[in-house]
Amino acid sequence: MKSTMMDFPLTLTHILDHAGTLFGGAEIVSRLPDKSLHRYTYADFYRRTRALAEALQRAGLQPGDRVATLMWNHYVHLETYFGVPAAGGILHTVNLRLHPNDLSYILNHAEDRFLVIDDTLLPILERVKDRVKIERVLVAPFTGKPVPPGTTSYEELLKTATGTFRSPPIEEDDAAGLCYTSGTTGRPKGVLYSHRSLVLHTLVGALPGGIGIAESDTILPVVPMFHVNAWGIPFIATMIGAKQVFPGPHLDPESLLDLFERERVTVTAGVPTIWMGILDALDKNPKRWRLTPGMRMLVGGSAAPEALIRGFDRHGLRVVHAWGMTETSPLGTVSALKRHLEELPEKERYEIRAKQGFAAPFVELRAVGESGEIPWDGKALGELQIRGPWVAASYYRMPEAGDRWTEDGWFRTGDVVTIDPEGYVKIVDRTKDLIKSGGEWISSVDLENALMAHPAVKEAAVIAMANEKWGERPLAVIVPKDGLGVTAEELRAFLEPNFAKWWLPDAIVFTKEIPRTATGKFSKLQLREQYANYRPPPSDLPA
Ligand code: AMP
C-alpha cells in the first residue's frame, strides 16, 4: 500500500465528467456560418461528447490514433476536444490557413485516420485529398447541404452511439493532443500534448496568474482552436463551468463586438491584429456597443503594443499581455502588475504591461547570452530558455530537430529578451528567421529559396517590415542577375502558385547588393535597419 496519496491519473476525462456532472445548466453559444447563434447547455455538450467518443470507438478508433480537425471555433470543435481524448485518441487540430503543401505534409506526417471538418471548409480538403490518406472524413453539416459522397455526417456518426460509453484505461502520460508549429525553420513540427500536461496547464491557466476565470465568467476565445488549443481556454472554461461563446468563422470587429455585447462576455483572448481592428471600431463609434465594464482581453501570439493597452483602457477594457508558444502549451508568461508596482507612475506601469510578463507557476525561465546566463537587470540580452511540465521534450517523430533543446534540458525559444529584477521578460528580437503576420508565421527562408529559383534573380533576402495592422509583413530585397530585367509583379506571379496569398511579400525592392555578416551570410540585422522606415508605395501591395 502506498504511504502517501492515491494513484489518480491526471486525465481530461476527469475534467469532462466534472463539468458534465456539476455544471449541466451552463451555456455554450456558437456563431454559425449563416450568423445565427446555436445555443446548448453543458448537459447537451456532455451527452454529445460521450456519444462522439463511443461512436469513434465503434468506428474502429484505437488508443493513440490521431483524429484531425479542420474547424472554426464552435461547439462541435469543443466536443472533439474532449471526445477524442476520452476515446483514447489524439486530437490533432490543423491550421486551416496553411498552404495545401504544408497541409498535406502535416496530415501525412501525423498519419491521421479520421478528419472532422466543417462543411464550409470542404474546399480546403478538396485541394489536398489526392495527396493524403484519411480513412474516414466526418463532416459537421452547418449549411444543411448533404455531405459529399464518401464522407459521413458528424450528426449521423453521433447517432451510432448507444449511450453506453466506457473510457478505455488512460495513463496520464498518454498523448491527448497534437499541434504543428511552422514557427521554426524547415518543415512544420508537431508537438504532442499529454493528458497530464494539458490537465496541469488547465489548473494553472485557470488561476489569476493565468487567464484567471470563475464560473460566473463568460469567455470567448477569438484565438483559433487550431492555435495551441485556443491557448487552453476550452479546457479551462469547461473545468470551471464558465459560459463559453464561440465566434465561428466571423472574426471581423463588428461581429465580435456584437457578440461581446449580446452575450455579456467578461473574458476574451486573441492576437494583436484582432484587437487593433476592434479598437479602431470602438474609437470610431464609442457609444455603439455596451460591453461589460472591465472586460479582460488576453493578448498574445505577437507583442501587444503599448498604444493598444492604453487605447482599450480609454474604453474601460483591460488588456492582459501574455507570451507563449505551441511548444509551451502555450502558457509561459503573463504581464500582470504586481501589487507594489501599481504605485508606479503611469508611464512605467504601461511599460511593464507592454512587456511579456513573468513566469507562470511551474514555468522556469532563464536567458542565455554569448557568455552564459544573463543577469536579471532589464538590460542584458539573451535567448529565452524555458522548462516546465507543459513544455515539449521533443518534436513528434522528428528526432533530427533536437537542437532546440540544451544539453541540460531547457527548450530554446528563439526569442531574444531582457529580464528585469522583478522577473518581467521583454522580447526585443528573434533568432528565428521568420515573419509573424496576424498571428501566423511566414518563413523568410522559404520565400527566399523560391525567389532565388527565378532565372532573373541573383540574390533574394526577405525580412519583416513593421505593419500597424498585421504586426509584420514580408519585404523582399532582390539583386537581379546582370543584364536581366524583372519586375515585382513578375516575381509575385512566380511565387503565387506555391504560397498562400497572405505569404506574398507586400513589397519587392531591387538593389545592387545585400549586406553580409562577417561569415558571408545575409545580414538581416543590417537589412532591417536599412528598411526600418520603408513604406511600400500603394502600387506595390498585392491586389
Ligand atoms: P507559436 O508557436 O506560433 O504560438 O509562436 C510562438 C512565438 O510567437 C514566440 O516564440 C514568439 O516569437 C511569438 N510570440 C508569442 N507571444 C508573443 C508576445 N506576447 N510578444 C511577442 N512575441 C510573441
Distance (Å) from CA 542 to ligand 1 centroid: 26
CA–CA distance, 332 with 325 (Å, rounded to integer): 8
- Cβ(228) to ligand 1 under 6 A? yes
The residues assigned a catalytic role are 181, 327, 436, 441
- Cβ(326) to ligand 1 under 6 A? yes
Nearest atom (ligand 1) to Cα of 182: 3
- The string of pLDDT tens digits covering residues 246-297 is 999 999 999 999 999 999 999 999 999 999 999 999 999 999 999 999 999 9
- The string of pLDDT tens digits covering residues 44-61 is 999 999 999 999 999 999
Distance (Å) from CA 5 to ligand 1 centroid: 38
Where do runs of H (alpha helix) occur along 264-400? Answer: 272-284, 306-314, 346-353
Question: Is pLDDT above 70 for 541?
Answer: no
Question: Domain limits of the chain?
Answer: 433-540
Rounded average pLDDT over 190-216: 96
- The string of pLDDT tens digits covering residues 227-240 is 999 999 999 999 99
Distance (Å) from CA 140 to ligand 1 centroid: 31
User: Among 180, 352, 415, 425, which residue has the most ligand 1 atoms within 8 Å of its CB, making it the best to mutate?
Assistant: 415
Contact (Cβ atoms closer than 8 angstroms) between residue 235 and residue 201: yes
Rounded average pLDDT over 92-115: 97
- What proportion of the chain, given as a percentage, has pLDDT over 70? 99
- The string of pLDDT tens digits covering residues 273-287 is 999 999 999 999 999
**pLDDT for residue 525:** 85
**pLDDT for residue 542:** 56
**pLDDT for residue 540:** 59
Maximum Cα–Cα distance for the chain, whole Å? 83
CA–CA distance, 359 with 92 (Å, rounded to integer): 27
User: Among 223, 302, 391, 413, which residue has the most ligand 1 atoms within 8 Å of its CB, making it the best to mutate?
Assistant: 302
Give the pTM.
Answer: 0.94
Nearest atom (ligand 1) to Cα of 228: 4
| Residues in Cβ contact with 447 at an 8 Å cutoff, skipping those fewer than 6 apart | 460, 462, 474, 476, 495, 499, 503, 505
| Residues in Cβ contact with 267 at an 8 Å cutoff, skipping those fewer than 6 apart | 211, 213, 217, 218, 219, 220, 242, 295, 296, 297, 298
- The string of pLDDT tens digits covering residues 124-172 is 999 999 999 999 999 999 999 999 999 999 999 999 999 999 999 999 9
- Cβ(354) to ligand 1 under 6 A? no
Rounded average pLDDT over 350-369: 98
pLDDT band at 330 (very low <50, low <70, confident <90, very high): very high
Chain Cα centroid distance, residue 498: 23
Question: Is pLDDT above 70 for 543?
Answer: no
Which has more confidence, 402 or 82?
82
pLDDT band at 524 (very low <50, low <70, confident <90, very high): confident
- Cβ(444) to ligand 1 under 6 A? no
Quick one: fold of 433-540? GMP Synthetase; Chain A, domain 3 (3.30.300)
For residue 139, report the phi and psi dihedrals to the nearest 5 degrees. Answer: -110, 125
**Residue that has been written with the C-alpha cell 483559433 in this structure:** 224
**pLDDT for residue 1:** 80
Nearest atom (ligand 1) to Cα of 303: 20
CA–CA distance, 52 with 448 (Å, rounded to integer): 45
Question: Is pLDDT above 80 for 184?
Answer: no
Ligand 1, atom 9: nearest CA belongs to which residue?
A: 325
User: Among 228, 325, 442, which residue has the most ligand 1 atoms within 8 Å of its CB, making it the best to mutate?
Assistant: 325
Distance (Å) from CA 472 to ligand 1 centroid: 13
